[in-house]
Chain A
C-alpha cells in the first residue's frame, strides 16, 4: 500500500512544518517566475502563447481543486464542470448587476462555488463511493437546468461579455488573463500543499483508507470532508471566474462543457492523486499535449487521446506519474 494511504492523523511535527514552508515558498517563487516568464516569452511569441498558457494553467487549477477532495479523501467529484460554471456565471451576474471588475468577480465566484460545495457536502457526504459521485453529477445537471432557464444571465440563448479596456502594464487583455490564471493556479497549488501536509490532509488520507476505522479513531470525518468540498468548490469557482472574458460569448454548453468535466478528473488520475504535484504534472502533460494537438492533428481526437491515456494509466500505472516516479526511485535504491 502507498505510504500516503497509511499516514496517521497525529500532530504535525516542527520538521514537517519547516518542510511545508519551504515547499510553499518554492511554489510561490516558481509561480512568480512563471508569471514573469509569461510576460517576457509572450512578447516574442504573441498572444497565442498567452491563450495556450491560460488554458493549460486553468487545467492546473481545476485539477488541483479536484484533487483536494477526490485525491486526498477519495470522494470522486463528477460535477466539476458545474462548479466551474458557477464561477463563470457569477462573473456574468456581477458584471450585469454592478459592472464588477475581475478582481471582485474572482473571490465572489470562489465564495459562491465554495458555498455550493459546502451545501453539497452537507447533503451528500452521507453517501459514499459511487453514490457520492452520482450525486455530484446530478448537481451539475441541476445547475445547468437552472442556468438554461435563467434568462437574466443569458439562459439557453447565451450571453455576450465584452472585455474591459486593457490598462496598466499589460499589452493585451489575454496577457492579463494568463497572468491572473498563473497566480491563481500557484495559489491553488500552495493551498493543496497546506492541506496535504497539515492535520486536514492526514485526516482525509485516513478517511480515504478506511472511513469507519478513522472515525473510530477519532478523526472528525464530517468536518474534514466539509472543509475539502468547500475548498475544492471554491477553487473550481475561481477557475471559472475569468472564463467569460476569455471566451466572450458564454452559453450553457460552453460553461458546462464535457471537456472540462473529463479533463478535470483525467489530469489528477494521470498525474497521480496522492500528492500536490501529481495533478500539476498531469495537467501540464495533458494540457500542453491537447494544445499542441488542436493546432497540429486538429480534431476532436483531443478527448479521445485523454481517454486512451486514462485507460493506459489505469491499466499500467494506477498511481499515475507520481506512482511511476516512486517505483523508479525505489527500484534504484
Chain B
C-alpha cells in the first residue's frame, strides 16, 4: 500500500469520527414540546455501580406508567418517560437535568438513585423551581431545605437514628438485657451515618460500647475484624456496610464462629436477591434493616399485584428478580405524583408541592405523609431476621417466614431467634 493510501485512510478515519459526532449532534431531540403526552424526565443509573438498583427502580416506574396509560393516562393525557443513563456518576447529573428542563422541556422531573445523584441535581432543580420527587436520598435535603423536595425512602425525619433504632430496641427487649455492644462499619457515607446513630442509640439504652472501629471501603479480608470483635465478647454486634462487605462480614462471622446474641443491623445488599441467594443458609440468624418483605403484616393494597408484574418482567430483563427493596418505592413515588396531579387537576408544580405537603397518599408501599423537609413524616425502617433459609434458591424468599419482621412493633411478624451463632 502506498503512503498516499495511508493518508486517505487517515483522512477517512478522521472524517468518520467527525461525521459520527455531527450525526450524533443532529439527533438530539428537538426542543419542541407537544401538548400530549405528559413527559416525565429523569437520569437513572443504567450502567456502573448503582445500575442493579437503578434498573430495578426504572422497571417499577415503567410498570406504573403502563398501568396508568392502560387506565387512560393522567388528565386525559398519556404519560411518557424521558430517561438518560447517569452512569452512576454524579458528575453527569447537572447536565442531564439541565437538558431535561431546558432542551427536552419535560413536564415533570423525578430523581435517579441515589443520594449523590439527587444532591448533584438539586441546584438545577431549585433554580428552576421544579417539583422534585426523589428516590432513596439519605438526608439529601437537610442542607438545601428546598420546599418542593419529596423523598421516598421511609427513613423519617431523623434518618441517622432510624437504621439502628429497631436493632437497639429489639436487643433491649431480650431477657436478660444485653450490656455490651460492638460497632463496626465501612468508612463511607452510609455506614458513617448509620454508626453515628447507633452510637447515640446505644448510649441512650445504657449499652457499653466495647468496640467501635471502621475499616477502609475496599477491605476484602474481614476475618481479622471479626476475630478482634469476638475477643471483646460483645453481646451485640452492629454492622453498617455496603454490599461487598456485607457479604464479607456474614461469611467471616460464620467462619470465625462468632457467638454474639445479635449480629447485623445496617447492612446494605442483603435486601437484594443477589446476596440472599449467594449467602443462603449463612443468613440464618442475621438481622438487618429492610424496607419491604413479604410478611403478612405488610399487606398494602396493590403490592402483591405489583410484585407479580415486576417479577414476571424482571426475569425477562435480568434485573433483581425479587424487587422488594427499591421497586415498590419507585412505583409508590409515581403513585404520589399521580394522586397529587389528579387532586390538583393540573401540572402546576407550586400547587402540586403544596398538595403533597398537606395530603397523605395510599400507595403500594403503604400510606405516606411527608413532613416539611420532604421526608416521610413517620419512619418505617424494618428490622428483619433471616430464619429457616435452606439452600440458595431464590423462590424461598418470596415466602413468608424467611425474613421475619422484629421491629417496629406495628408490623412485627415473629420473634427473634438468639443467639446468632447457634
Contact = CB atoms under 8 A, between A and B. Distances in A.
A257 B187 contact: no
Interface in B74-106: 83-85, 87-96, 98-99, 101-103
Interface in B93-129: 93-96, 98-99, 101-103, 115-116, 119-120, 122-124, 127-128
Contacts of A297: 24
B102 A47 contact: yes
Interface in A164-187: 172-174
Interface stretch (A119-127, A193-201, A230-238, A320-328): A320-328
Interface in A292-333: 292-302, 309, 312, 316-317, 321, 324, 327-328, 331
B28 A172 contact: no
B98 A156 contact: no
Contact of B119 (A248, A301, A324): A248
Interface residues of B, number: 54
Contacts of A324: 10-11, 14
Interface string A38-56: 0000000111111110010
Given A156-B187, A247-B94, A249-B116, A295 B143 contact: no
Given A292-B25, A294-B92, A299 B116 contact: no
A149 B187 contact: yes
Contacts of A131: none
A50 B102 CA distance: 11
Contacts of A51: 94-95, 98-99, 124
Given A156-B192, A160-B144, A254-B89, 10 more contacts: A45-B102, A47-B98, A47-B124, A48-B98, A49-B102, A172-B127, A174-B94, A248-B120, A300-B85, A309-B17
B103 A327 contact: no
B188 interface: yes
B10 A317 contact: yes
Contacts of B192: 155-157
Interface string A132-170: 000000000000000011000001111010110000000
B95 A55 contact: yes
B404 interface: no
A254 B90 contact: yes
A329 B21 CA distance: 24
A92 B187 CA distance: 20
Interface string B133-151: 0000000000110000000
B120 A299 contact: no
A254 B49 CA distance: 13
Contacts of B175: none
Contacts of A331: 4, 7
A251 B23 CA distance: 35
B225 to A, nearest CB: 17
28 contacts: A47-B102, A52-B95, A55-B91, A148-B187, A149-B187, A155-B187, A155-B192, A156-B186, A156-B217, A157-B189, A173-B123, A246-B94, A247-B120, A248-B122, A254-B90, A289-B17, A291-B95, A292-B21, A294-B84, A296-B24, A296-B27, A298-B46, A298-B85, A299-B46, A299-B87, A312-B13, A321-B14, A324-B11
Interface of B: 4, 7, 9-11, 13-14, 17, 20-21, 24-25, 27-28, 46-48, 83-85, 87-96, 98-99, 101-103, 115-116, 119-120, 122-124, 127-128, 143-144, 186-189, 192-193, 216-217
A239 to B, nearest CB: 13
A257 B89 contact: yes
Given A298-B85, A317-B10, A327-B7, A46 B116 contact: no
